[in-house]
A = this chain, B = another copy of it.
Amino acid sequence: MLSTMNDGPLSIARIMRQGTGPHGATAEVVTWTGAEPRRSRYAEVGREAARLAHALRGLGVTGDQRVGTFMWNNAEHLTAYLAVPSMGAVLHTLNIRLFPEQLVYVANHAEDHVVLVDHTLLPLFAKLLPEMKTVRHAVVVGGDASALEAPPGVEVHGYADLLAGRPEEFDWPELDERSAAAMCYTSGTTANPKGVVYSHRSIYLHSMQVCMTDGMALEQGDRGLAVVPMFHAMSWGLPYAAFMVGASMIMPDRFLQPEPLVAMMAAERPTMAAAVPTIWQGVLAELEEEPRDISSLREVVIGGSACPPAMMRTFQEDYGITVVHAWGMTETSPLGSLARPPAGVTGEDEWAYRVSQGRLPASVEARLVDDDGRILQWDGQSVGELEVRGPWVAEAYYGDDDPEKFHDGWLRTGDVGYLTPEGFLHLTDRAKDVIKSGGEWISSVELENQVMAHPAVAEAMVIGVPDEKWSERPLVAVVLREGETADAAELREFLSGSVARWQLPEYWTFITEAPKTSVGKFDKKRLRKQHSEGDLEIIHLT
């Protein structure tokens, strides 16, 4: 029996029409320029998107060719978000923070035909452009285009010149909703970056979720501050969702330091904002130094990595702002889960929910899998690797088989944790860091936290090391606070109060500094290398 419902496609053009039409005269994009803002109403953004689409057609962009962006969060980047997918091409947001060789790799792998680049990023981009083999046109946004030297076979254009005089309307084509709309590469630490290709359908559904009550509940009249870069997982869905319901967007451009961010917040009155914990840490420190009025904020969404509970409490107690802790990945568009406590829960009970990674919405199926591929119960105890599946979850990488990551439509997230019967996700470790001891899993992160609770310990890193009997056992690498002393036996004795007996580590080492990655996380790969090369002095307690 056939359904009688309309089968028209879910598309970014539909989102754009809603934002530029009914909301075109009221919603605006605000771009910070240091001391003051630039403003455009969404109706104007729509006209600009049409001009950009005509300009890109003029540069020979047809079919599903890739148009790269090498840009901060600003009005022009938002314009590209709308124009490029709606004309049928594919928006490739280049992550300006990748290593140069990774940037060259992804531009070549995606076969970018055109790249839009902010003039403030030219010093970085100019070094990469000669290596980007498929790029034929570089479009410089703002500033002086002639500052960019064109390598052989590449034309350089000024954005404003290129768009000048183009028609303000474009005949947006009807597209298959499953066709590619945008792509974003994840920054792997070991291998080459992997490309995730979002479809019109996945972006449309994800935008609806952002505006749902169990999503970010973004609404008409909201002023959303996207600190999260537009080159990170589609800026957590804010730009498209904002056009879908008529929320304004506040864009910090390159002014991501705490001082200008706080100044912008005080001036532009965002009602919600999204960023990683590190950014918020800086914002809170800045506010402590020089108080400013940020009371316009109703909620801040914090994700990207686990948010320290103390930071959530500071927001709530000192500023009356609710933190919504969220979990997601580039591969999940990124909205995977959000911590909204059940209705009616208050006080400390509420905090137990708020610090979790939250609930997964109906569209994100989840399961926990153990080492033997068994599906575990949602009992608040059984720890396994989280796998997810759904209409905005990737089931492959672009042109890159990775069977370790995907199977039967499920994405192996690489995150380890448990789920409560109510569906709240608690992540405890990364799969590659968890210690597999005699068939049981020990969370390296939890052990680290317990060791660091000792007053003499500045930092503690835990990795799994081979063990004949148990296959793996934890090794604790300790950095002592200056002037403090503690030996391994004393620390193990300290742990025995809070850690199960069979988890108590017998391998210890004392180091002067914890190896860290460029973004300041513990570099366990490096510690493992030091261990395997015999560079660590191991104390074996028996």
Q: How far is the CB of A365 from chain B (nearest CB, A)?
A: 7
**Which residues does chain B contribute within 8 Å of A23, judged by CB atoms?**
422-423
**Which residues does chain B contribute within 8 Å of A360, judged by CB atoms?**
22
At the interface with chain B, which of A193-201, A250-258, A462-470, A510-518? A193-201
Known pairs A6-B389, A196-B4, A198-B3; A14 contacts B362 (CB<8 A): yes
Check if A6 sits within 8 Å of B213, measured CB to CB.
Answer: no
The reply to whether the CB of A51 lies closer than 8 angstroms to some CB of chain B is no
Cα(A421)–Cα(B25), bound, Å? 9
Cα(A312)–Cα(B205), bound, Å? 33
Residues on A lying within 8 angstroms of B by beta carbon are 1-8, 10, 14-15, 17-18, 21-23, 25-26, 64, 66, 90, 178-181, 195-199, 201-202, 205, 208-209, 211-214, 217-222, 244-246, 340, 342-344, 359-363, 365, 378, 389-398, 409, 411, 421-423
Q: How far is the CB of A491 from chain B (nearest CB, A)?
A: 39
Check if B422 sits within 8 Å of A213, measured CB to CB.
Answer: no
Check if A7 sits within 8 Å of B395, measured CB to CB.
Answer: yes
Check if A6 sits within 8 Å of B180, measured CB to CB.
Answer: no
Check if B8 sits within 8 Å of A409, measured CB to CB.
Answer: yes
Cα(A385)–Cα(B351), bound, Å? 52
Cα(A4)–Cα(B222), bound, Å? 32
Cα(A439)–Cα(B411), bound, Å? 61
Most chain B CB atoms below 10 A, which of A66, A343, A360, A398: A343
Check if B392 sits within 8 Å of A15, measured CB to CB.
Answer: no
Most chain B CB atoms below 10 A, which of A5, A8, A18, A362: A5
Check if B212 sits within 8 Å of A214, measured CB to CB.
Answer: no
Check if B178 sits within 8 Å of A15, measured CB to CB.
Answer: no
Cα(A398)–Cα(B178), bound, Å? 27
**Which residues does chain B contribute within 8 Å of A389, judged by CB atoms?**
6, 8
Check if B220 sits within 8 Å of A395, measured CB to CB.
Answer: no
Question: Which single residue of chain B is at the shortest CB-CB distance from A202?
Answer: B5
New A-B contacts (16) at CB < 8 Å, excluding given A213-B219, A222-B343: A1-B64, A5-B391, A6-B389, A6-B391, A6-B393, A7-B178, A8-B409, A14-B363, A15-B362, A22-B360, A25-B422, A208-B208, A208-B363, A217-B217, A220-B343, A245-B362
Check if A3 sits within 8 Å of B180, measured CB to CB.
Answer: yes
Q: Looking at the complex, which one of B2, B90, B391 makes contact with A10 (CB distance below 8 Å)?
A: B391
Could you pull out 16 A-B pairs where Cβ atoms are within 8 angstroms?
A1-B179, A5-B199, A5-B393, A6-B391, A7-B395, A8-B390, A10-B363, A10-B391, A14-B362, A17-B365, A21-B378, A211-B212, A212-B212, A213-B245, A220-B340, A220-B343
